[in-house]
Structure 1
Amino acid sequence: MAEDKLKQSEKMNLIPGAEPSSRMDPWWWLVAGVFVLTGGLMLFQPDPFLDIFKYVWVGIGITVLVAVVSYFLMLILGMFGALGRLSKNTILRGLATFYVEIVRGIPLLVQLIWWYFAFPVIIQSIGQGLNFGPMMNYQANPIVMAIWGMTFCYGAYMSEIYRAGIQSIPKGQMEAARSLGMSHTQAMRYVILPQALRVVLPPMGNEFIALLKDTSLVSTVAVADMVRLGREFTATNFNPIEVWTMIGLLYLILTLLSSRLINYIEKKTAFSR
């Protein structure tokens, strides 16, 4: 009986997709290596590496906060942008296309600076014209403006990723859903979008990693992230090699952990075509 089960298991392994998966992603060793290197520097050379880590610790939280919040808002904005680009309504399609083309043509750094320095001036000018106190005295919150700037920029790129995923689904899926009595909205919600999200999951993960690294630009708009705190520490202690080595390792840890998590989600949601 045991031999029959063993033979059956061996036959199952010959079926594509039925092979037993590795319990551990080997790239976790790279993550562990970077952790060990970073911890070793702080342990054996606490001055300055441990001091640097303690100084930028708060900045790590700000970096993660900006990245995560911007990412989830970007997913929502990108979905609306993609649906607008695919809409049969000429006005909606034109507005969505205008948004994507304009935003993709302006560097992210310029957009962040515009939202933090120029946008408040516009609000204050409108407030003066309306004689409305709250708008006249409007002051931009650095973190809020940084999150909005990242969301507004990356939402344009995400809308194109969504659009490509939706268009990759065979038209027969929509026709089959409509033949079952679904409206166009219901077909998109229950049939097309769930399949499209699986298709675009890898580029979605890549966008998060890119966004996480680009949060380093928010230091230019008074956000106390790792980069800004690193610059302050360097200006005080005059040790740029140690500071930027530590900052680079901390970013590397965040991106490697994110990539492993994304890889895990991809494996769990993978399906055979």
Structure 2
Amino acid sequence: MTILELIAENYARLLEGMGRTLLLTFWSLILASVLGLIFGMMKAARGKIWHILSSLYVDVIRGIPVLVLAFFVYFGIPQGFGVNISIFQASLIVLSLNAGAYMAEIVRGGIQSVDRGQMEAARSLGLPYRKAMQKVVLPQAIRTMIPSIINQFIITLKDTSILSVIGYADLIKVAKAVIARNFEAFRIWLIVALMYLIVITVLSKIAKAIERRMTYAK
């Protein structure tokens, strides 16, 4: 069977798997952005307690491999606390926690890239810290963060492949099922690699285009 025949026979299932991969990546990044914004602002704040709490989250999550975190969330938590977690929920929690830790560093870096005088000027006009951060600092910081956020999306997209070990039906899981049926491992994995390459290349081009636009806009 030629590679074109393999694509014609299995493209619907492979595209469905890629769709699930992108869906999980999208929702994970949404939740990770919320976590990253909260903990990133905490880490950039002057309060020592906030800084310690955010550093603890970032250091712990970044220090645990995604595979170990996946096993802990999907197998460990249900056994330890007697709760039921679906494969999608476990996958979403794992990716959100992992990406959120890196997003927190992106947010912290973006906030600290804004000149301190901006915050001081806003405070001198009578704005409280939270309003000054929301209205003055964050809008400027977001401009510098967008390329890094897109790069984190790419990294999270790659990390979804690990979650096939707990049974999430992403592109990797679908590819394994196809191979089990036709034993065309070399060609199927080549097709999967090309699918990832196309998606990631498109996202990388978008990230570079946005970065150039942000540079020219300064």
> TM-score under structure 2 normalisation?
0.92
Equivalent position of 2:29 in the other structure? 71
Q: Which of 205, 208, 219 in structure 1 is aligned with 2:150?
A: 205
Equivalent position of 2:7 in the other structure? 49
SS state at 1:113 partner: helix
> What displacement does 1:269 show?
4.7
Q: Distance in 2 between matches of 1:179 and 1:216?
A: 50
Equivalent position of 1:82 in the other structure? 40
Larger Rg: 1
Equivalent position of 2:96 in the other structure? 151
SS state at 1:139 partner: coil
What amino acid does structure 1 have at the position aligned with 2:116? K
Q: Distance in 2 between matches of 1:73 and 1:271?
A: 30
Equivalent position of 1:226 in the other structure? 171
SS state at 1:200 partner: helix
Equivalent position of 2:181 in the other structure? 236
Are residue 173 (structure 1) and residue 118 (structure 2) matched?
yes
Are residue 114 (structure 1) and residue 81 (structure 2) matched?
no
Contact 1:198 / 1:270 at 8 angstroms: preserved in 2? Answer: no
- Structure 2, unmatched stretches of 5+, are none
What amino acid does structure 2 have at the position aligned with 1:158? M
Change (3 A) 1:190 1:86: same
Deviations 1:126-172 (A, max 9, x none): xxxxxxxxxxxx32111111011001011111101111111111111
Q: Distance in 1 between matches of 2:75 and 2:54?
A: 25
Alignment root-mean-square deviation, CA: 1.9
SS state at 1:224 partner: coil
> What displacement does 1:54 show?
2.4
Higher helix share: 2
What amino acid does structure 2 have at the position aligned with 1:223? Y
Identical positions, percent:
34
Contact 2:44 / 2:111 at 8 angstroms: preserved in 1? Answer: no
Q: Distance in 2 between matches of 1:45 and 1:70?
A: 33
SS state at 2:103 partner: helix
What amino acid does structure 2 have at the position aligned with 1:262? A
Are residue 187 (structure 1) and residue 127 (structure 2) matched?
no
SS state at 2:13 partner: helix
Q: Distance in 1 between matches of 2:15 and 2:3?
A: 17
- Structure 1, unmatched stretches of 5+, are 1-43, 125-137
Q: Distance in 2 between matches of 1:257 and 1:119?
A: 37
> What displacement does 1:271 show?
4.9
Equivalent position of 1:3 in the other structure? none
> What displacement does 1:67 show?
0.5
Q: Distance in 2 between matches of 1:110 and 1:212?
A: 18
Equivalent position of 2:17 in the other structure? 59
> What displacement does 1:268 show?
5.0
How many residues end up aligned between the 2 structures?
218
Q: Distance in 2 between matches of 1:45 and 1:254?
A: 20
Contact 1:166 / 1:196 at 8 angstroms: preserved in 2? Answer: yes
